[in-house]
Amino acid sequence: MTIDRRKVLGLLGLSGAAAGEAAAATVKGLHDGPVSFDHGVASGDPLQDRVILWTRVTAPGAKLPVGVRWDVANDPDFKTIVRQGHATTDAGRDHTVKVDVTGLKPGTEYHYRFRASRAGQPVGEAVVGRTRTLPTGATKDVVLAVASCSLYPNGYFNAYDAIAKLPRVDAVLHLGDYIYEYGAAPGDYGMNSPTAKTRMPDPPHEIVTLDDYRRRHRIYKTDPMLQAAHARAPWIVVWDDHETANDSWIGGAENHTPKTEGDWATRKAAALKAYYEWMPIREPSAGALPEAAWRDFQFGDVVTLLMTETRLTARSQQLDYETDLPIVDGKPDVAAFVAKWKDPSRRMMGQDQERWLAGQVGASVKAGTAWQVLGNQVVMARVATPNLQKTMGEEKFDALVAKLPDYARKRVAQSVAMSAYEIPSNLDAWDGYPADRQRVYDIFTAAQARPIVLAGDSHMFWANELWNDGGDKRVAVEFGATSITSPGYGDLMPGAPIGEAFVQRNKEVRYSHPSAKGFVLLTLEHGKATGDLVAVSTILEPKYETSVLKRFVVTPAAGGGVEALKEG
């Protein structure tokens, strides 16, 4: 496939200075009407000497560019301002502002604010946040909050509020599904929730156009709990599928119908333009495609964080059991499916990203960095379909199934039948691309890395040990973050021992929780890393409590790799 970079950048509106940093003095006229900051602030992509600052101005009726003043200070009262400047924005980027502030000190907490600017002077109330640059050299520890999957109508963003209230968090990693593309019809995803009536997605239809995607980002960032989490610490983000459309891949998506929804490239470009406008992510570098969002972050000598992109740059179309598992003489032809499934040409990452990953992992190990952490969208462990009937016993299982709606009863019956075979439960995860996964494991092994893989997408908590294809070497561990609000298997079948069934069925799965909502709090030190699976008590009302469901500790193994997960 030939990609015209100039055409793609033009569609995205990124061919010029898209970050809204044009000096106010260069603009002949500025909007002089009322301005507010209804969508809060955010910071992101921190480096040792810089960080992205973001906001969005609400300026009703503004036809001229809007001026904004930004300040960065060492103290919350802004008595010691270390950097400041002006920016402008307009409807061409949905009145969002993004500033890449440079000249900062490493490992330092800063406070920042935005105010409206007129005639070069700040006016009106300020909107404020705090952020932090990355440390250099010898570093004691690093604390990361890991989040994923926030479905607006399905519940309150209590987990975001819990992140905002953490006594310490150096950065928030969001691994995708920050927004969802579905509409607000009664049968749409999440609209059967008791909270849906007061948390209606906007627009009320499935989002397809640039205006649609912008409106969906807007409604999300009106949420006060999400605003608080953004204002608390810098975010490091990557999209998964729902920022474009469900189960997206390089050439389309499960939830994209060209006949009624138009060209996939146009829809994808609209989604990415809105994403770059509304998220605190650094703009694409010169010569890079916007889809190529992989990048690295160095937290002193403790962590090399490698954020990957596995949706839009190289992913082959997902296999599907209904179409790719043939039935011969009334029985599934598993051998024919396995031949397709293990085809080495099926990719999650392209060669460019794979080379980048190998170079970064190798350099990190040579530099003596304690941990190599992969920020990744989907679960990497081998997870075959569990046999819930076997785990529960036939009588209890039958009683459970009898209470389910027809569509759910059919899915559960299919899962029991599939559990007889050594094939994946989720073909959209790394399990659907085993040859490409092994290439990643080979990179880890060749470098003698000490990898920790982070995953989102599944709406479940996971603590997994990752083994090579031969099953004779543990190469990494994986912590899977459950959703902020999106429903999981446990919501479909409350009380069923689904997590236990996954553990019983799969060597690599040490722990799984199918219904809790929350985030992973990962604390990394020299010699050990601790993963706390933090749950909120409810998403159906804004009053909640938090608890640590499980704590796992991992230590590095001699000669690379990691030791077994231990409960802490």
Domain boundaries, the chain: 1-133, 142-384+421-568
Q: Residue 269 and residue 131: Cα distance in Å, rounded?
A: 30
Check if the beta carbon of residue 76 is closer than 8 Å to that of residue 127.
no
In sequence order, which residues have a C-beta less than 8 Å from that of residue 499 and are 6 or more positions away?
A: 460, 490, 511, 512, 513, 514
State residue 498 phi and psi, 5-degree precision: -65, -45
**pLDDT of 157:** 98
Q: Residue 194 and residue 542: Cα distance in Å, rounded?
A: 13
**Nearest Cα residue to 506 out of 466, 474, 476, 533:** 466
**pLDDT of 3:** 38
Strands (E), 402-487: 451-455, 461-467, 474-480
CATH class for the domain made up of 1-133:
mainly beta
Check if the beta carbon of residue 501 is closer than 8 Å to that of residue 521.
no
Check if the beta carbon of residue 276 is closer than 8 Å to that of residue 14.
yes
**pLDDT of 24:** 41
| DSSP label at residue 251 | T
Q: Are strands 248-249 and 235-237 parallel, antiparallel or unpaired?
A: unpaired
Q: Based on the number of CB atoms within 10 Å of its own CB, is 6 exposed (0-12), middle (13-18) or buried (19 or more)?
A: exposed
State residue 203 phi and psi, 5-degree precision: -70, 165
| Sheet strand arrangement including 96-101 | 96-101, 51-56, 41-44, 235-237, 171-174, 141-147, 517-525, 528-536, 546-554, 566-567
Q: Residue 559 and residue 538: Cα distance in Å, rounded?
A: 43
Q: Is 393 in a helix, a strand, or coil?
A: coil
User: Can you name the residues that pair with 115 across neighbouring β-strands?
Assistant: 69
DSSP string computed for 298-336: EETTTEEEEE---SSSSPPPPP-HHHHS-EETTEE-HHH
**Nearest Cα residue to 436 out of 335, 313, 333, 321:** 313
| DSSP label at residue 262 | -
DSSP string computed for 108-134: -EEEEEEEEEETTEEEEEEEEEEEEPP
**pLDDT of 27:** 53
Tokens 């992913």 belong to which residue?
315
> For every one of its 568 residues, what pLDDT tens digit does the chain have, with 9 covering 90 and above?
333 433 433 444 433 333 444 444 445 579 988 899 999 999 999 999 999 999 999 999 899 999 999 999 999 999 999 999 999 999 999 999 999 999 999 999 999 999 999 877 888 899 999 999 999 999 999 999 999 999 999 999 999 999 999 999 999 999 999 999 999 999 999 999 999 999 999 999 999 999 999 999 999 999 999 999 999 999 999 999 999 999 999 999 999 999 999 999 999 999 999 999 999 999 988 778 899 999 999 999 999 999 999 999 999 999 999 899 998 988 889 999 999 999 999 999 999 999 999 999 999 999 999 999 999 999 999 999 998 889 999 899 888 888 888 777 877 887 888 888 889 999 999 999 999 999 999 999 999 999 999 999 999 999 999 999 888 899 999 999 999 999 998 898 888 999 999 999 999 999 999 999 999 999 999 999 999 999 999 999 999 999 999 999 999 999 999 999 999 8
| DSSP label at residue 548 | E
Tokens 């294809």 belong to which residue?
469
**pLDDT of 360:** 98
**pLDDT of 15:** 34
Q: Based on the number of CB atoms within 10 Å of its own CB, is 344 exposed (0-12), middle (13-18) or buried (19 or more)?
A: exposed
**Nearest Cα residue to 54 out of 276, 299, 296:** 276
Chosen CATH of 142-384+421-568 out of 3.10.450.50, 3.40.50.720, 3.60.21.70, 3.40.640.10: 3.60.21.70
